[in-house]
Amino acid sequence: MAARCICNPMWSPPERIRHPLPETRWPTAEEARNALLFQPLCLKSGLVLHSRTWVPAMVPWRASEDGMVTPMVLRWYERFAMGEPGVIVVEATGVRDIPSGPLLRIGDRRFLPGLAELVQTVRQASGGRTRLLIQLIDFLPVRRRPEPAKWFSRFWRPKPYHYERFHQTIPDAPDWKGDDGEFREAVFQGGPEVWKSVLTQREWEELHFGYRERITDTHLPLVRDLPVILPKAFADAASLAQEAGLDGVEIHCAHAYTLAGFLSALNDRTDGYGGEKENRIRLPLEVIEAVRNRVGEKMTVGCRFLGDEFIVGGSTVADAGYFGQRFAEAGVDFVSVSAGGKFEDAKMPKIHEAVYPYTGPSGYACMPTVLSDERGPFGRNVYLAQKIRSAIRDGGWTTPVVTAGGIATFELAEKLLQEQCADLIGSARQSLADPDWFKKVQLGLGYEVRRCKFTNYCEGLDQKHKQVTCQLWDRADKDDPNVDRTSDGRRLVAPAWTRSMSL
Ligand SMILES: Cc1cc2nc3c(=O)[nH]c(=O)nc-3n(C[C@H](O)[C@H](O)[C@H](O)COP(=O)(O)O)c2cc1C
Ligand code: SF4
């Protein structure tokens, strides 16, 4: 069945220059053998990676509604493991035991058997070569954009200043003393112009983007108490990961989620966890400390954070260099550098849909496509990793740095390692397009790599909370009834690599 068009409403740079995939020369097996990319690396924890190849976290929307590992989750990771990368990071997995749809969770012992099976599956499929980490995440509630009529009648709480503002806008409006209902209806009927003048900025956003909790909502007890709740929640989760047999954890301090919110320059909490960068990094460091105390020195503990938030008023690479140093000082085994992916500049969702943090310029920075500006998508964010690495090295730490963002050829990957821009090469979408790609390169069969188009069909699916697949897979075995497919006919796992054809 042909790949269906998934419209991709992501933002693109206004220049809209279409970049071709770079021409590249693949190495011979001999060249690959000598390449830095395929040399082992030993982390501080003692974990030995057989190569510097890394598959970063990717949510495939395959967990059960209650966050359990399903057979489709196992098949997803099994397929990556068959390509034997140095590391696979399991998708963002929720540390708290709260419902969050088909996203993996690790906030209770009942998740253990599934995660242990996942570990065994990856070990078996990679012949024990691939190390398995899990990305631990916390996020705050985000609701769908409501129907305006419903929002005004059910969710909005009018206050005296709303009445005042309405009377300033429409001086001869009635008094409505004691009749909230009629006032709500009058404002709703007033339409967008009246909404803009009567509502607060936060209410206006809630109406147009849906309710979204922020780490600065300290009037809410659960938000106020995050510094108390999260170190234990992450430590408990890391301990379960250890029990399940995972090699390590990656604390998610990137993109639009709770710990990234604390790191953000927009964090103006006044309780010692916001404001200056020294305060903003306090909770992520307390989380890392709690995790480390719980799992010991031999379990790998790393963190992913942003080299730049790419939003107005957000943290920049100067803050990120400082954060990198503090994480290194705290003794993490690696830092993984990402970019952007924020709610603040996301597109307004349709009514009944939820705002998605990868639809604005910061989303573009996170997962750049070939429709770009002069710089294009390939290795676009490497300079961030490089600057953070330099700051870490200047401070005297040797903590390895992972970079990602449009790295899909051996030539670029090897150059970045040789030039000491990074220590590990993360490749998400190229590994999705072809989970065997690192292995093909290593065997001198790079010309067989199914190359990612970097047009984000997969990301469009993620955005719609649909099972993630790659548009290139669908072309293989179109009529084979034995191939597992989604309900809309898409192939669920990458086709097998028939090596015999080339060896
Ligand atoms: C479908 C999809 C899901 C993703 N899920 C996550 C995630 O769970 N956690 C995370 O840190 N990054 C996530 N990312 C971002 C990737 O890890 C990576 O940083 C980004 O795609 C850029 O790397 P690339 O150019 O090699 O794809 C996701 C990316 C894609 C395409
Ligand atoms: S759908 Fe496939 S080819 Fe397209 S960007 Fe995603 S991984 Fe690459």
Residues 340 and 205 in one domain: no
* Count of structural domains, the chain: 2
Residues 318 and 465 in one domain: yes
Residues 32 and 178 in one domain: no
- Tell me if 327 is assigned to some domain: yes
Residues 185 and 222 in one domain: no
Instruction: Using DSSP, state whether 252 is helix, strand or coil.
Output: strand
What are the φ and ψ backbone dihedral angles of 445, each rounded to 5 degrees? -115, 35
Query: If we measure between CA atoms, which residue out of 44, 34, 78, 2 comes closest to residue 327?
Result: 44
Return the DSSP state at 267.
Answer: -
Pocket around ligand 1 at a 6 A CB cut-off: 56-59, 91-92, 135, 252, 254, 304, 338, 366-367, 404-407, 427-430, 458-459, 462, 468
Pocket around ligand 2 at a 6 A CB cut-off: 429, 432-433, 452-458, 470-472
Residues 175 and 263 in one domain: no
Q: Which residue has the tokens 């503990």?
A: 301
Residues 270 and 179 in one domain: no
User: Which of 209, 230, 253 delimits the end of a domain?
Assistant: 209
Instruction: Provide the residue-wise pLDDT of the chain in tens; the chain has 503 residues.
Output: 333 444 446 899 999 999 999 999 999 999 999 999 999 999 999 999 999 999 999 999 999 999 999 999 999 999 999 999 999 999 999 999 998 889 999 999 999 999 999 999 999 999 999 999 999 999 999 999 999 999 999 999 999 999 999 999 988 888 877 678 999 999 999 999 999 999 999 999 999 999 999 999 999 999 999 999 999 999 999 999 999 999 999 999 999 999 999 999 999 999 999 999 999 999 999 999 999 999 999 999 999 999 999 999 999 999 999 999 999 999 999 999 999 999 999 999 999 999 999 999 999 999 999 999 999 999 999 999 999 999 999 999 999 999 999 999 999 999 999 999 999 999 999 999 999 999 999 999 999 999 999 999 999 999 999 999 999 998 777 778 888 899 888 999 999 998 744 44
- Tell me if 456 is assigned to some domain: yes
> Whole domain around residue 159: which residue ranges?
148-209
Residues 200 and 231 in one domain: no
> Between the CA of residue 356 and those of 145, 166, 173, what are the distances in Å?
11, 32, 38
CATH number of the domain bearing residue 32: 3.20.20.70
Is the CB of residue 84 less than 8 Å from the CB of residue 130? yes
- pTM strictly above 0.85: yes
- Tell me if 7 is assigned to some domain: no
> What token pair was written down for 376?
């294009």
- Tell me if 12 is assigned to some domain: no
- Tell me if 422 is assigned to some domain: yes
d(CA 129, CA 158) in angstroms, rounded, equals 60
Distance 473 CA to ligand 2 centre (A): 9
Ligand number with the minimum distance to the CA of 340: 1
Query: If we measure between CA atoms, which residue out of 459, 455, 429, 264 comes closest to residue 363?
Result: 459
CA-nearest residue for atom 11, ligand 1, is 57
Residues 287 and 371 in one domain: yes
Mutation test residue for ligand 1: of 10, 53, 58, 466, the one with most atoms within 8 Å of CB: 58
Residues 434 and 303 in one domain: yes
**Please, what is the end-to-end C-alpha distance for the chain in angstroms?**
30
Distance 430 CA to ligand 2 centre (A): 7
User: Which of 209, 235, 262 delimits the end of a domain?
Assistant: 209
Count how many Cα atoms sit within 13 Å of the Cα of residue 232 in the half-sphere of its side chain: 7
d(CA 418, CA 350) in angstroms, rounded, equals 46
d(CA 323, CA 44) in angstroms, rounded, equals 19
- Tell me if 311 is assigned to some domain: yes
Distance 366 CA to ligand 1 centre (A): 8
d(CA 346, CA 214) in angstroms, rounded, equals 15
User: Which of 180, 209, 238 delimits the end of a domain?
Assistant: 209
Residues 37 and 167 in one domain: no
Residues 26 and 117 in one domain: yes
- Tell me if 186 is assigned to some domain: yes
Q: Which atom of ligand 1 is nearest to the CA of 255?
A: 11
Q: How many CB atoms lie within 10 A of CB 292?
A: 18
Residues 110 and 243 in one domain: yes
- Tell me if 11 is assigned to some domain: no
Give the contacts of 252 (CB within 8 A, at least 6 positions apart).
57, 92, 135, 136, 137, 138, 259, 260, 303, 304
